[in-house]
């Protein structure tokens, strides 16, 4: 019997079967069927969140702590099962799926602690006898719209701080990965959330997402996804004068200098460009390499790529899982054709693979001889495709690294303290890595970018208070 999951609206599981969730490693494997909300259900969810807000925002911090801690503990205890389902519906490897699940547990644990740490300031007024208190309060109903590439970590890093600081939620996950979303909501619901505090509305972005954008009762929206949808979120949010936060694309450079440790540089490139099938907004899609190390780097990288095992996400030997679906696979292949037409040389991979089961398998692709002006160097592909751009020296490498409409992460491989320090100070990215992959970040420190990659306050860590709370300045004259 096929699994059937419903939406959670005002504490009730509701809805009829709508969409099927297909395993990208084996398109004959249906993970389950999922309710697909219409605009009416989205409105009900928003109304429920609005009604639940006054009590939840004034609840004792320990009550919120208890729910978040319990959720963290259950996610950690079930990490293998949840991580396996994640890998099954998204296509990242089992190890990546379990690792991401652990991260979700850590995020809930971190924000459980934060419920007890929210503090303010007491400042003397310029007027005698007057005191000024600066405090933070919950914002209200938060709309959470998430993408498919981190099916549990991204929802966790938005839901955990939203709840910790007393907000109520309408959560719309990506259509491709409803099982992870449903699981996290089920766990939080059973952990003791009052009805209406967290509502799950699975469904189409153009229907449910749009209903959230159009509602005057959604007080803040946090969005991770494409640039196009991010712009719609921004425009609609300005219209309603609501807070919004956007995390969008990246075209992240990994600079490799002549003095780099070759093994470290190749590790960083393999991990950053190809792990998670390159489907990370922090992926290293531009490898900017100085001429003294260029040929050795490309040769060593190709040697490692030959050994990468592409296959079924659930097979423990697999290092690179399938692409998430047919649409994304076509986009990857279209960009590979565009790169060739632009004159870059496809030095490795980029071919469809037949697995033991029907799935969206693509070998990791490496372009050499790319320039930074090519479309493959300017547009986010969101697949296992990276370009090597040859440059003369560090100065040119930095200029190329910064010449992009995006600014999420950047990396440099070098043994020079001077160049590492200069790069950290002058890279136009929100996150900079030295001798580390551009992807893979800690859960307790700020995450976010610049330019076309992000808008609004940072996510994660204590910086999350910027978005999920609003500041109040209260004056008291006590005589």
- Annotated catalytic residue: which of 90, 100, 247, 333? 247
Q: Which is nearer to ligand ADP, 206 or 421 (CB)?
A: 206
Q: Does 448 bind ligand ADP (CB under 6 A)?
A: no
213 binds ligand ADP (CB under 6 A): yes
Q: Residue 175 or residue 312: which is nearer to ligand ADP going by CB?
A: 175
Nearer to ligand ADP, 166 or 321 (CB): 321
**Taking CB under 6 A as the rule, does residue 188 contact ligand ADP?**
no
Is the Cβ of residue 166 or residue 205 nearer to ligand ADP in the bound state? 205
Q: Is 147 an interacting residue with respect to ligand ADP (CB under 6 A)?
A: yes
Alpha-carbon 463 to chain mean position: 16
103 lies in the binding site for ligand ADP (CB under 6 A): no
Please classify residue 370 by burial: count the beta carbons closer than 10 Å to its beta carbon, then call 0-12 exposed, 13-18 middle and 19+ buried.
buried
Q: Residues, the chain, total? A: 479
Applying CB under 6 A, among 21, 41, 106, 146 the residue interacting with ligand ADP is: 146
> Smallest distance from the beta carbon of 155 to ligand ADP, in angstroms?
10
Q: At what angle do helices 262-274 and 291-307 cross, to 10 degrees?
A: 60
**Considering the rule CB under 6 A, would residue 42 count as an interface residue with ligand ADP?**
no
Is 379 in the active site?
no
Nearer to ligand ADP, 147 or 278 (CB): 147
Q: How far is CA 321 from the centre of its chain?
A: 18
- 209 is a contact residue toward ligand ADP (CB under 6 A): yes
| DSSP letter, residue 277 | G
Does position 225 interact with ligand ADP (CB under 6 A)? The reply is yes
Rule CB under 6 A: choose which of 125, 206, 341, 415 binds ligand ADP.
Answer: 206
* 280 Cβ contact partners less than 8 Å away, ≥ 6 residues apart: 149, 150, 439
Output DSSP code: residue 235: H
Contact 198, 167 (CB under 8 A): no
CA gap 318, 310 in Å, rounded: 6
Q: Are 413 and 258 in contact (CB under 8 A)?
A: no
Nearest residue (CB) to ligand ADP, 32 versus 225: 225
Q: Which of 48, 94, 145, 200 binds ligand ADP (CB under 6 A)?
A: 145
Region binding ligand ADP by CB under 6 A among candidate stretches 168-176, 270-278, 350-358, 371-379: 168-176
Stretch that binds ligand ADP, among 31-39, 139-147, 183-191, 338-346 (CB under 6 A): 139-147
Residue 272 as a binder of ligand ADP (CB under 6 A): the answer is no
Q: Does 172 bind ligand ADP (CB under 6 A)?
A: yes
DSSP string, 352-414: EE--SSS--EE--EEEES--TTSHHHHS---SSEEEEEEESSHHHHHHHHH-SS--SEEEEE-
24 lies in the binding site for ligand ADP (CB under 6 A): no
Count of beta carbons in the 10 Å neighbourhood of residue 65: 17
What whole-number distance in Å separates Cα of residue 190 and Cα of residue 34? 19
Per CB under 6 A, which region of 9-17, 154-162, 203-211, 311-319 contacts ligand ADP? 203-211
Rg from Cα positions in the chain: 23
Which position among 89, 100, 109, 175 is part of the footprint of ligand ADP (CB under 6 A)? 175
Strand order in the sheet with 130-138: 121-124, 130-138, 469-477
Size of interface with ligand ADP, in residues (CB under 6 A): 16
3-state secondary structure of 416: coil
357 counts as binding ligand ADP under rule CB under 6 A: no
| Catalytic residue ranges | 247
| Site residues, ligand ADP (CB under 6 A) | 145-148, 172, 174-175, 205-206, 209-210, 213, 225-226, 229, 232
């Amino acid at each position: 019997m096929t699994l059937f999951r419903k939406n959670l609206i005002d504490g009730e599981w509701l809805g009829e079967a709508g969409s099927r969730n297909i395993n990208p490693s084996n398109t004959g494997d249906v993970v389950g069927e999922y309710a697909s909300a219409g605009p009416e259900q989205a409105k009900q969810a928003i109304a429920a969140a609005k009604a639940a807000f006054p009590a939840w925002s004034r609840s004792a911090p320990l009550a919120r702590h208890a729910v978040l801690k319990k959720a963290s503990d259950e996610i950690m205890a079930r990490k293998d099962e949840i991580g396996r389902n994640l890998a099954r519906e998204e296509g990242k490897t089992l190890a990546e799926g379990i690792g991401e699940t652990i991260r979700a547990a850590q995020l809930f644990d971190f924000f459980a602690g934060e419920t007890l740490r929210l503090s303010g300031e007491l400042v003397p007024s310029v007027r005698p006898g007057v005191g000024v208190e600066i405090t933070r309060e919950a914002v209200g109903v938060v709309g959470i719209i998430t993408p498919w590439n981190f099916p549990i970590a991204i929802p966790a890093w938005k839901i955990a701080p939203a709840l910790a600081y007393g907000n109520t939620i309408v959560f719309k996950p990506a259509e491709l990965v409803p099982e992870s979303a449903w699981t996290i909501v089920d766990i939080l619901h059973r952990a003791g959330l009052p009805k209406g505090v967290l509502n799950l509305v699975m469904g189409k972005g153009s229907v449910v997402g749009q209903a959230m954008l159009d509602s005057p009762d959604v007080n803040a929206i946090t969005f991770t996804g494409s640039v196009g949808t991010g712009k719609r979120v921004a425009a609609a949010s300005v219209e309603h004068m609501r807070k919004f936060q956007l995390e969008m694309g990246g075209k992240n450079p990994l600079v490799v200098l002549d003095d780099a440790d070759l093994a470290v540089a190749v590790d960083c490139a393999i991990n950053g460009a190809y792990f998670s099938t390159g489907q990370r907004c922090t992926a290293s899609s531009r490898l900017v390499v100085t001429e003294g190390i260029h040929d050795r780097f490309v040769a060593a990288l190709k040697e490692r790529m030959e050994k990468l095992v592409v296959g079924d996400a659930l097979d423990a030997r697999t290092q690179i899982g399938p692409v998430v679906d047919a649409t994304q696979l076509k986009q990857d292949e279209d960009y590979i054709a565009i790169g060739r037409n632009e004159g870059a040389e496809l030095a490795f991979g980029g071919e469809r693979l037949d697995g033991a089961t029907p799935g969206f398998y693509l070998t990791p692709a490496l372009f050499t001889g790319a320039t930074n002006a090519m479309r493959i160097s300017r547009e986010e592909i969101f697949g296992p495709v990276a370009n090597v751009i040859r440059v003369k020296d560090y100065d040119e490498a930095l200029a190329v690294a910064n010449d992009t409409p995006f600014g999420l992460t950047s990396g440099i491989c070098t043994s020079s303290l001077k160049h590492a320090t200069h790069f950290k100070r002058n890279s136009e990215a929100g996150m900079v890595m030295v001798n580390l992959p551009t992807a893979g970040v800690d859960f307790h420190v700020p995450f976010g970018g610049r330019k076309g990659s992000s808008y609004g306050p940072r996510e994660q860590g204590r910086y999350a208070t910027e978005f999920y709370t609003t500041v109040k300045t209260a004056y008291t004259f006590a005589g």
